[in-house]
Amino acid sequence: MSENVVPAAASRRSLSIVDLQATLSEWLNIPAGNLMESWNVERLQALEDHLRRHIVGQDEAIAHFMRDFRKSVVLGRGTRDSRPMIAMLCVGPSGVGKTEIGRRIAEFIFGDAGTRFLMVNCAQFSEEHTLSAFWGAPPGYVGYGQPTLLDHVRRNPFSVVLFDEIEKMHPKAVTDLLVGLLGDGNVRDLSFGKLVSFTNTLVLFTSNLGNDFAARQIGYSSLNEDKAVDAFSSAPLTRAALEAFFRPEILGRFDSIVSFHHLDDNALGRILDLELDALSKEKLGGDRVVLSPESRRVVLREADSLDFGARNLKQIVKNRVEGGITNRILEGAIRRTGDETIAVDVRADGQFTFDVHTQET
């Protein structure tokens, strides 16, 4: 045998578990880091901490979710149960974190909330003719063979699916979807007749049902806005709104119903700090944004709304704070070097001022 010829046994490379894991991940479109990672006490606690960091003022809702999530990942569904890992209904007013919890769960489990997080805006499916974009259309009908939202679940079987404002979807679709999804975990694609399995998904539904009832409670009683928090989340009030919308055989199929509260002043203040921190890191190159006590009070006072929650706050930060900073950048006063402090104050006429201080080295 020539010295330049390498024996076959010597050139053969053994496959490791990591190699198999990477191959399966590519074939099945499952993140490699989550194929073999078990849910132990530390990882479950890390998920809860992650949710509490990013979802402010909803400790009870997070605790409720984690209780059911622990039960699901530790005990499983059983060999004869093919329903989703979690099928949870989140109820509460707008802008309090119902949608954010789904995005943050996907971010923690899969490393990002890109293709692993699917948010279905149910308002887009309020008319019957729009449902073909959701689960296809039979041959001969408009929408046959076109991509559907079910295709996303079929291609990404391990994902978080959130149906936002489920009450806005067409009533027939709500019934057909939930009977299949909460029954055997399968929804049929009408174009090709294939069953799409939701067994390995976490499915969340959000709803504002009960919000109108809470508003009427405030209008016709002596309740102030602080007590409206308890009025909305009271079990009889929420239950009455849900029972008026969902059929009894569907309402009982949810794993649990999680109630989100209105945000109080303390929660809005913490969200404001998170927004300013994100503004500093993502758009200003590390430059700090510091609000004076008076300008902070102005922002929080204008953002205080039972109807919009944190959405109103984010809009005010974008318009008043980011708008003023943008003008100062165009003037050349802010260079985004990472060593600047932007001090925000408010004048007597209500206009914000933006003074820039550079850290001396």
Q: Got the DSSP string for 248-268?
A: HHHHTTSSEEEEPPPP-HHHH
303-337 as b/e, with b when 16 or more CB fall inside 10 Å?
bebbebbbebbbebbeebbbebbeeebeeeebeee
Helix (H, G, I), strand (E, B) or coil at 322: helix
Specify the pLDDT at position 35. 45
Per the model's pLDDT, the better-predicted residue between 189 and 20 turns out to be 189
Q: Are 102 and 117 in contact (CB under 8 A)?
A: yes
pLDDT digits (tens, 9 = 90+) for 134-187: 888 888 888 888 878 888 888 888 889 999 999 999 988 888 889 888 888 999
Q: What is the pLDDT of residues 299-358, one digit of tens each?
A: 999 887 766 778 889 899 999 999 999 999 999 999 999 999 999 999 999 899 999 998
Helix (H) or strand (E) holding 352: strand 352-358
Fold for 265-358, please state it. Helicase, Ruva Protein; domain 3 (1.10.8)
> 141 vs 19, 127, 132, 181, 191, CA distance in Å?
45, 16, 9, 24, 9
Side chain identity at 193, as an amino acid letter? G
Q: Using 50, 70 and 90 to split pLDDT, how confident is the model at 224?
A: very low
pLDDT for 78 equals: 63
Quick: pLDDT tens for 74-130: 877 666 678 898 899 999 888 899 999 999 999 998 877 777 899 999 999 999 888
Kindly list the distances between the CA atom of residue 119 and the CA atoms of 175, 289, 319, in Å, as whole numbers in the listed order. 19, 32, 26
Domain range list for the chain? 19-259, 265-358
Output the pLDDT for position 162: 95
Give the pLDDT of residue 209.
Answer: 86
Beta pairing partners, 90: 206, 258
User: According to the model, what pLDDT value does residue 56 have?
Assistant: 92
pLDDT tens digits, residue range 253-273?
898 889 898 888 899 999 999
24-28, 64-68, 130-134, 273-277, range with the lowest pLDDT: 24-28
Q: Name the CA dihedral angle for 258, 263, 269, 272, rounded to a multiple of 10 degrees.
A: 70
pLDDT-based confidence at residue 223 (cuts at 50, 70, 90): very low
Residue 53 has pLDDT above 60, yes or no: yes
| Stated pTM of the model | 0.80
Inter-helix orientation angle 235-245/211-219, to 10°? 130
pLDDT value of position 323: 94
C-alpha to C-alpha distance for 169 and 124, rounded to whole angstroms: 7
Contact criterion met (CB below 8 Å) for 201 and 102: no
pLDDT tens profile 283-293:
999 999 999 99
- Domain 19-259, CATH: 3.40.50.300
